[in-house]
Amino acid sequence: MTDVFTRLESFGDRFRLERGLAEGADWIGCDRLLDPQSEELGRVLDAERHASGQVSDHATALTVMAVYAGTVTASAVLAWAVEGVVIDMRPGNVAIRLSPHHGFEAVGLRDPKVVEAPLETLVEWVLDEHLLPLAQAMRLRTRAGLRQLHGGVAHGCAAAFCIASRRGGDVDRLQSSYEAFLAAAGSGLERLGTVIRLREGEREGLFYLRNTCCLYYTSAEQVKCSSCCLDSIEERVKNYRRVLADGVVPH
């Protein structure tokens, strides 16, 4: 299944997964993050708060949740969308390295296991066993709102389809795959945002309109995500059309 990982990397560095993890390389096991009182979850939250200059614990948690879903587990979602296979991204098989900057330095797999399995397996491994329990742990740790945390989950998962659609992926396939994923996901994720399809000249792509906020604008960087619900839909669509015409990938 090496070609699966090569294909993922062709869509950008955020979909790169390290394999054969070396001991003592500062990897944090993602299964430890599901314990709301764990030292490891505290390290992840502290690293992001320091890197982005967030103003509160709950704002940090919301930012981490969106970034985590859009980078750590996004590769599994994209692998299913473009190759029809499921990467084992259950929390016990995934590890991360922290970064001095916003986000994570690396994502790795202890066992690069890839299986042919139905969509329900992807939903179980990525959402039911990983992202949703992590959201609950961060709620208990920081008192961040569960709806907003789930908004980060929904946004991060949608990012896999949207980014790939603007980097050479089959837009028709990615759109239909996203709709199937959302229908299977449940948990009310369909109410937390909408994927739209836009075209500018010869370029076409999928974009996400969030209904919840990750509060990244409260960080020291004081910038809003391009999908921020604090902007009107008209403003976001106008911005998306501009970045589509310019051929760049928005945050």
pLDDT at 22: 76
pLDDT at 136: 98
pTM here is: 0.92
pLDDT at 100: 86
Question: For residue 75, which amino acid is it?
Answer: S
Q: What are phi and psi of 41, to 5 degrees?
A: -65, -40
Best CA proximity match to 150, nearest among 183, 186, 125: 186
Per-residue pLDDT of the chain (251 residues; tens, 9 = 90+): 559 999 999 999 999 999 988 777 799 999 999 999 999 999 999 999 988 888 889 889 999 999 999 999 999 999 999 999 999 999 999 999 998 888 899 999 999 999 999 999 999 999 999 999 999 999 999 999 999 999 999 999 999 999 999 999 999 999 999 999 999 998 899 999 999 999 998 899 999 999 987 776 677 676 777 777 788 899 989 989 988 888 765 54
Spans of all domains in the chain = 2-246
